[in-house]
Amino acid sequence: MEGQILGNRYELLEKIGGGGMALVYKAKCKLLNRFVALKILRPEFTNDEEFVKRFRVEAQSAASLSHPNVVSIYDVGHEGNVHFIVMEYINGITLKEYITNKGALKWEEAVKISIQICSAIEHAHRNHIVHRDIKPHNILMTKDGIAKVTDFGIARAVSSSTITMVGSTIGSVHYFSPEQARGGFTDEKSDLYSLGIGLYEMVTGRVPFDGETPVAVALQHIQDEPKHPIEINSEVPAGVNSIIMKAIKKDKNARYQSATEMLGDLNRVLREPKGGFVTEVRFENFATRRIEAIKDSELAPKAKQQVDKSETNIGKDDKGKKKTNKLTYWLAGATSLVIIVVCILVTYNVIVSSLAPDNENAYMINDYVGKDYNTVKNELVGKGIIVKEKRKTDDTAQKDTIISQSISPGKNFKAGGYTEIELVVSDGPKKVRIPQLKNKDYRDAVIMLEDRGLVTNVQEEFSEDVGTGLVIRTEPGYDEEVKEGSEVTVYKSKGPELKMVKIPDLIGKTEMEAQRALADLKLTIGKIIPENTSNRIDKVIRQNPLPGDMIKEGTPIDIYFEEVKNEPRKEVKVNIILNNLEDFGDKIQVRIEAIPSDTNTKEFLVNEEKSKTDFPLPLNIPVPNEGKTKVSIYLDDKLYNEFEQE
């Protein structure tokens, strides 16, 4: 689409990025004469009217945001089936590329970047806009180190429309929240979870959850607890670690409840890196369980009190005493009978239960090798068995497949007895992430890949955009993960593809005319013979190669002029002095032209800019015999002084 003009205003210059939903072009606004970025909706989404409507409404809503850390949206429009958003052009790289190039950032830098992002999120939330796709790929870093959040509002249009249409969730699986993974309701706290994941990656150099498929990563967001950043990078202070772990809580109610709250802790941790101020919300979830019966000894004081009270009442009159004794005998007999019956029933149940196998509560350990870890884990945990996970790379077993188990198959355990079993789980083959190699020297790229244990295959291609000898792209591409030992194809640029053109006829043209004719065909002037020809009005008398031949673009063409014998000239030394230089600007032009007597044709000898510090200016002025030389001085493009030397 390069060269196309949209909306009678925006000329597309070059493609600078793209994602699953749109392509991004650098463009020039012909009305305001400035560079902008145009995000153009991919063609496969333009046929859905509901999607396009949401896309436009959300983009217009995001255009209302005005914040130094938010990429500004200038305009929204469409031309035919092309729907586009005009945004501020940022000359920089994404935060993802920044992390890839530098590795784990220093915690202070990571926190300062997060403060800028969180400030942008806070501003958006106050305007009732939820981003829903916060990730390093959507954060642009300017050359001055300023973070700019982009794609505000667009993610909401994408996810809500897609869920409505096909019942699935679209998002960046490594960064989205557990509620997004479930396809459930998302709100402001979902953005804060994604920011927490981004801060985790900044201080550790990697994301907390990773897997071979998006589903595997999504399940980890829902079920698994990540390693604490401080365990991966010991330089991460406790305060930063606490902020990250609170932001990525699986329960929304346990996270930061607002961007303002998280922003406060981020600012405070720069002053108090040891932490101690991050508060956690705790929820007591009491499961149904068996409670021991209250012991007689716990009731003794109360029973004794009742007995003492009875004895006091008995001492008051004998009549009451006789009635009480009679009643006591009856109660004692009834109680004895109840106790005997209870003892018989308890004894019977004990004997019967000891003879009968406890099939209902028994659980037999099976052979889990080769099975999916998450399925087995859910089954064992449901039976009250504690599962310990140990991960290791394995070239033969797929990721999340159980390699071995600590308890042999066939052993019985009582369900709910809290038996512990350790499962060794495959992390799959050792993976290597492809670095960003575009525009790097192909030899450096090969070394970087081979240092990571990969095999390289260099292929050459023509490229209009990438210089000769630099990397155009790799296959697999940037940020993809491949098995150690895999082959990576490095595409090396041969520069622009040179076409064959027909040599024009330059005979009879001046040097300037010849130069223009060659430039139109992407050819250049080679040697000028004779050298140091001063008279540029001379005509070409011969050329090499000859007119009509076919040659490649960029080939130089030698041109020949008639050799003229110069008449001897004398030199006159002069010293040029300028007065009142402070009244003029710095632009001083000196022109010297000789006028021979035989031709009376002007020959420019000097046409140079000088500075004030060059004056007084000593000059050696060549003067033709029986001719003259004219010297002209221009200050600020106006003639200041002019004289002739004969």
Q: Which amino acids are annotated catalytic?
A: 133
Structure tokens of 503?
A: 């040599």
Say which amino acid occupies 619. L
Separation CA 54–CA 396 (nearest Å) = 47
Separation CA 515–CA 509 (nearest Å) = 9
Phi/psi at 206 (5° precision) = -150, 160
- Regarding beta strands 10-18 and 22-29, do their DSSP bridges make them parallel or antiparallel, or are they unpaired? antiparallel
Residue 597 near residue 626 (C-beta atoms within 8 A):
yes
Q: Which long-range contacts (CB under 8 A, 24 or more apart) does 544-547 make?
A: 545/503, 546/503, 547/503, 547/504, 547/505, 547/506, 547/507
CA–chain centroid gap for 277, Å, is 30
Q: What is the CA radius of gyration of the chain?
A: 43
Separation CA 238–CA 229 (nearest Å) = 9
Place of tokens 């300037």: 512
Helix %, strand %, coil % of the chain (to 5): 35, 25, 40
Separation CA 312–CA 322 (nearest Å) = 14
Residue 476: asked if its preceding bond is cis (omega within 30°), the reply is: yes
Among 129, 20, 8, smallest CA distance to 73 is for 129
Where b means 16+ CB within 10 Å and e means fewer, 532-563 reads ebebeeeebeebeeeeeeebeeebebebbbee
115's CB contacts (< 8 A; 6+ apart) are 263, 266, 267
The C-alpha angle with vertex 43 and arms to 37 and 47, in degrees rounded to 5, equals 125
Among 124, 144, 142, smallest CA distance to 194 is for 124
30's CB contacts (< 8 A; 6+ apart) are 5, 9, 10, 11
Q: If 0-12 CB within 10 Å is exposed, 13-18 middle and 19+ buried, where does residue 17 land?
A: middle
DSSP string covering 516-571, please?
HHHHHTT-EEEEEESTT---TTPPEEEEESPTT-EEETT-EEEEEE---PPPPEEE
Q: Which residues pair with 490 in a beta bridge?
A: 458, 474
The kind and range of the H/E element at 362 are strand 362-364
Residue 275 burial (CB count, 10 A): 16
Separation CA 208–CA 228 (nearest Å) = 9
Ranges of beta strands (E only) in 143-219 are 147-149
DSSP string covering 211-270, please?
-SSHHHHHHHHHHPPPPPHHHH-TTS-HHHHHHHHHHT-SSGGGS-SSHHHHHHHHHHHH
Angle between helices 188-204 and 238-247 (to 10 degrees): 140
The C-alpha angle with vertex 186 and arms to 181 and 263, in degrees rounded to 5, equals 110
Structure tokens of 621?
A: 């002025």
